[in-house]
Amino acid sequence: MRAFSDDLSKDSDSYPSKYGTSRARRLKMILAALLGAVFGFISAVPVAGPISAIVFSQGMQGRFSQARWIALGAALVESGYAFLAFWGFNRFLSKYSILLVISKIVAAVVLLGLGIYFIRSKKMRAPLSFSETNGARAPKAFFLGAGISAANPTLIATWAASITTLYSMSLFSFSNANSALFSLGVCAGIFGWFSLFIHLIAKHRNRFDSRILGRVLTGIGIALIGISAWMVATNLLKS
């Protein structure tokens, strides 16, 4: 009888520790998702980027649904790059230097092309519409956002730097589940910022005219060309 009570006592003593471990694991998983959302939101805030420019243009023309689909496509691809960075894909690129050089050249060419397009495009400067368009073009908008992000593999290096910072803070273990949750959080954070951005455009766009839209697009185009030139120059100096 005493042996049975001793066993029961041992089992009951083990419950709090098991419960505590499980609870701590769940809290760290939640923390991984929340940190991903914060990192994703902050990374999307700078407006001098191709996705921001396209979302801004679509929003100013009243195409809010298309703007959201573009943002969602971009967010999903970038969160995928964040997931790859978690698994050391950046180190893989560094090991095969030719792949790293090619990825940077591709990114520079894409940014240059987008910069020229933003400066010259008349379509993006179309007269403002004050009626929402239908969602028939949703797939095209989604793949546009996804394609632009996918064409910039240097995002892996950007997220590798962010994850290195996160790793040094020792806030959670880099398990499979935490890596996936962090990446999902990144997607939610990026899409959250663009949803807020689109909401602000919808609320205040009646204060703007086509000339302001043109100036913003030209400014972003110049910035993208400058970033492209900087990427080429830094790679030439290293070689």
Residue-range domain boundaries for the chain? 50-238
For 97-152, write each residue's pLDDT tens digit.
676 677 777 778 888 888 888 888 777 666 555 555 555 578 899 999 999 888 87
Six token digits for residue 122: 């008349």
What pLDDT score was predicted for residue 146?
Answer: 94
What pLDDT score was predicted for residue 15?
Answer: 45
Q: Dmax of the chain from CA atoms?
A: 88
| Segments in the chain below pLDDT 50 | 1-5, 7-16, 19
What pLDDT score was predicted for residue 7?
Answer: 47
What pLDDT score was predicted for residue 228?
Answer: 83
Where would I find the H helices in 63-154?
64-86, 89-95, 97-120, 138-150
Query: Are the C-beta atoms of 118 and 124 separated by less than 8 Å?
Result: yes
Record the pTM: 0.73
Measured CA angle at 215 (ends 134, 41), to 5 deg: 60
